[in-house]
Amino acid sequence: MILTVLGAAAGGGVPQWNCGCRNCADARRGKLPRMTQSSVAVSLDGRDWVVLNASPDIRAQIERTPALAPPELRGSPIRAVVVTNADVDHIAGLLSLREGTAFDLWASAETHGVLTGNSVFGVMAEGIVTRREMALDLAFSPLPGLSVTPFAVPGKVALFLERDHGEGHRLGGQTVGLEITAGARRAYYIPGCAEVPDWLLARVEGADLLLFDGTVFADDELAAAGVGIKTGSRMGHIAIGGASGSLARFAKARLGRKMLIHINNTNPILRPDSPERAEVTAAGWEVAQDGMQVVP
């Protein structure tokens, strides 16, 4: 199993187009790496690929990843796209995959409902893009030899759906994690998660790789940075630090590689010299960066 981090940032990337926070300013000056929005590509042979979440940056991500280049005059090695929720930073890239090349689009019933309910996603022509519904806790195979099992994780509906569906946390198909297996290797991709209950700890125990929600280090991070009022919890993301944060919750878990992904532009772990980065590193976690290739 080969995983390539196409994008490691949360919505808006780093730098965000309208943000002058410390991290964004440093990224513009070249002091920090620029980061695109969260997406991962998975392959077994380096030829056929599955993309996990289609970020708004997907065109640029494909262009800078040689393995995803067209292998012939017209076509793509991307055989399937799997979407974990209906957040804009995970579905907007689907609009860039509209030029008549076939692939399978896997999503929960809830996310397919969002896509079907918005006619703009009709640009993915029926008969070319095959829309496949993934059922919770039922494995499917987007590539021969690769098994993906979606499961509900604590989360919330996408921001643009809150007016109709409310803003509270819930457990269901609106936010899913993915268990990815090939042979004896087992990896998890969970870019959005509002809390880490005991059953989730038990589920990931012994995995070779965990890519987990690293949106904010502190719940009040946006307010502290002066760029917003929403907490991480309000956005459906558990904080990394603190007594009930993800570092503490996963502290005793037996895991191979542990990597934080979907990192917000305000997060101090992006700075290699920050105390928060040191805390993350001391706990055995890595900070994902665009272009990283990971072999579980």
**pLDDT tens for residues 108-149?**
998 999 899 989 999 988 889 999 999 999 999 999 999 999
Q: What would the pLDDT profile of 210-254 be if each residue is shown by its tens digit? A: 999 999 999 888 888 888 877 777 777 899 999 999 999 999 999
Q: What is the pLDDT of residue 230?
A: 78
CB 19 within 8 A of CB 46: no
Per the listing, tokens 């090695």 go with: 77
Classify residue 245: in a domain, yes or no: yes
Q: What is the pLDDT of residue 174?
A: 76
CB 32 within 8 A of CB 14: yes
Q: What is the pLDDT of residue 232?
A: 72
Q: What is the pLDDT of residue 162?
A: 44
Strand partners, 185: 182
The CATH number that applies at residue 18 is 3.60.15.10
Res. 158: pLDDT tops 90: no
Burial class (CB in 10 A: 0-12, 13-18, 19+), 231: middle
Give the chain's domain count.
Answer: 1
Task: Give residue 4's pLDDT band: very low, low, confident or very high (50, 70, 90).
Answer: very high
Burial class (CB in 10 A: 0-12, 13-18, 19+), 207: buried
Q: What is the pLDDT of residue 172?
A: 57
CB 131 within 8 A of CB 91: no
Q: Which helix (H) or strand (E) holds 287?
A: strand 285-287
Q: What is the pLDDT of residue 224?
A: 84
Per the listing, tokens 């991500």 go with: 61
Q: Is 166 left (phi over 0), alpha (psi -120 to 50) or beta?
A: left
Q: Name the phi and psi angles at 274, rounded to 5.
A: -85, 150
Query: What is the DSSP annotation of 169-208?
Result: -B-STTBEEEEEEETTEEEEEES--S---HHHHHHHTT-S
Classify residue 33: in a domain, yes or no: yes
Q: What is the pLDDT of residue 164?
A: 59
Burial class (CB in 10 A: 0-12, 13-18, 19+), 127: exposed
Average pLDDT over residues 245-267: 97
Res. 156: pLDDT tops 80: no
Long-range contacts of 23-27 (CB under 8 A, 24+ apart): 23/265, 23/266, 23/267, 23/268, 23/270, 23/271, 24/265, 26/271
Classify residue 265: in a domain, yes or no: yes
CB 63 within 8 A of CB 76: no
Classify residue 296: in a domain, yes or no: no
Q: What would the pLDDT profile of 67-77 be if each residue is shown by its tens digit? A: 999 999 999 99
Give the least confident one: 15-19, 113-117, 198-202, 278-282: 113-117
Q: Which domain, by its residues, includes 204?
A: 2-291
Q: Would you say the pTM of this structure is higher than 0.85?
A: yes
Which tops the pLDDT comparison, 62 or 233? 62
Average pLDDT over residues 23-41: 97
Report the percent of the chain where pLDDT is more than 70: 94
Classify residue 279: in a domain, yes or no: yes
